[in-house]
């Protein structure tokens, strides 16, 4: 199937962060470093969880899925931006723009749903500890992840198909990737239906999961307040700190972008705000989840020790 809109526009121009040539090497270096840290950090979490049988639990199963999605999330936008910066050519083909948009919506939706599933896991662990293993069985965990994938794929497909029906007379996108809202605004045809579908998707992918997270943590807080010992309260709350930090960072930055006024939609401030949840949040996740997590530390030490022993045996 050839992706081509009815006006014959074959490519778009991504304006990115700055058009000044002297800033391009700096931007390239910063984003390359952030991308490598994101990929390497999330890969370490996946390796730690998969290599240590003690981490084969629902919490770490969801965490490894989140790390995989974060790698895909950043890989959807950053490599193309790096290539454009290096070649000083900000063009992206129409087919490339639609493809990038599809995967971006898919992975941002998955991020939302996985954060909600992880909040539900903490809710069961703290509010129903005696029934945790029964409730959070492998079948339910697999079903929750699969459902997140199905809903995200269908929503992304619907949004993308709606964009394919639009015609364009402008080709400059004031962003460093093909962000749905910006692409729709470039259309010269009626976008009312696109806007309605977009609002529905935001409600489904952001409002629904956020409501689920808030409900889970309201129950968690009520449960923690009923714990009599200070040590027990601290232990229960400490298991939620990492997840709360990631949720706060992700939702505060992403909702700030989409709830901002129309006057700032085309400014550089929007681009930098978008960078916070598309680049910074996936990069920070490995640090947030691993800095205070002794289980991850132990698994990584065991993994590298095994690699070192195998290397010595080979070279010996």
How do residues 65-110 score in pLDDT, each as one tens digit?
Answer: 999 999 999 999 999 999 888 887 888 999 999 999 999 999 999 9
Number of domains in the chain: 1
Tens digits of residue pLDDT in 34-75:
999 999 999 999 998 998 888 899 999 999 999 999 999 999
Give the residue carrying structure tokens 């599809």.
Answer: 102
- Higher per-residue pLDDT: 206 or 184: 184
Beta bridge partners of 14: 173
User: Does residue 132 fall inside a structural domain?
Assistant: yes
299's enclosing H/E stretch is: helix 294-315
CA distance 86 to 32: 11
CA distance 183 to 167: 11
12's enclosing H/E stretch is: strand 11-14
Could you tell me if 242 and 284 are in contact, meaning their C-beta atoms sit under 8 angstroms apart?
A: no
User: Does residue 5 fall inside a structural domain?
Assistant: no
User: Does residue 126 fall inside a structural domain?
Assistant: yes
Beta bridge partners of 182: none
* Domain extent for 250: 11-315
CA distance 295 to 280: 24
Pairing of strands 91-93, 172-173: unpaired
Is 0.75 surpassed by the pTM of this model? yes
Long-range contacts of 17-22 (CB under 8 A, 24+ apart): 17/176, 17/268, 17/271, 17/272, 18/268, 21/88
User: Phi and psi of 241, rounded to 5°?
Assistant: -60, -45
User: Does residue 4 fall inside a structural domain?
Assistant: no
Domain of 37, CATH number, reads: 1.20.1070.10
Q: How far apart are the first and last CA of the chain?
A: 54
């Amino acid at each position: 199937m050839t992706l081509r809109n009815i006006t014959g526009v074959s490519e778009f121009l991504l304006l990115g962060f700055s058009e000044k040539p002297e800033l391009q090497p700096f931007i390239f270096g910063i984003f390359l470093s952030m991308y490598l840290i994101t990929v390497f950090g999330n890969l370490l979490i996946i390796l730690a969880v998969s290599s240590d049988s003690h981490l084969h639990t629902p919490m770490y199963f969801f965490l490894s899925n989140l790390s995989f999605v974060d790698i895909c999330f950043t890989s959807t936008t950053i490599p193309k931006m790096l290539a454009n910066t290096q070649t000083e050519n900000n063009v992206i083909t129409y087919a490339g723009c639609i493809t990038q948009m599809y995967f971006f919506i898919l992975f941002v939706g998955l991020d939302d749903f996985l954060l909600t599933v992880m909040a539900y896991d903490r809710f069961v662990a703290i509010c129903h500890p005696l029934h945790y293993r029964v409730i959070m069985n492998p079948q339910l965990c697999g079903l929750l992840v699969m459902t997140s994938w199905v809903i995200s794929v269908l929503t992304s497909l619907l949004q993308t198909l709606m964009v394919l029906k639009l015609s364009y007379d402008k080709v400059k996108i004031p962003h460093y990737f093909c962000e749905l809202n910006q692409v729709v605004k470039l259309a010269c045809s009626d976008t009312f239906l696109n806007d309605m579908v977009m609002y529905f998707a935001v409600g489904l992918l952001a409002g629904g999961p956020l409501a689920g997270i808030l409900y889970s943590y309201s129950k968690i807080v009520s449960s923690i307040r009923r714990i009599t010992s200070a040590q027990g309260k601290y232990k229960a709350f400490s298991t939620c700190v990492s997840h709360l930090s990631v949720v706060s960072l992700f939702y505060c930055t992403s909702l700030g972008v989409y709830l901002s006024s129309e006057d700032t939609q085309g400014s550089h401030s929007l681009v930098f705000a978008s960078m916070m949840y598309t680049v910074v949040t996936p990069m920070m996740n490995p640090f947030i989840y691993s800095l205070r997590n002794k289980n991850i530390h132990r698994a990584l030490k065991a993994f590298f020790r095994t690699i070192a022993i195998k290397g010595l045996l080979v070279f010996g």
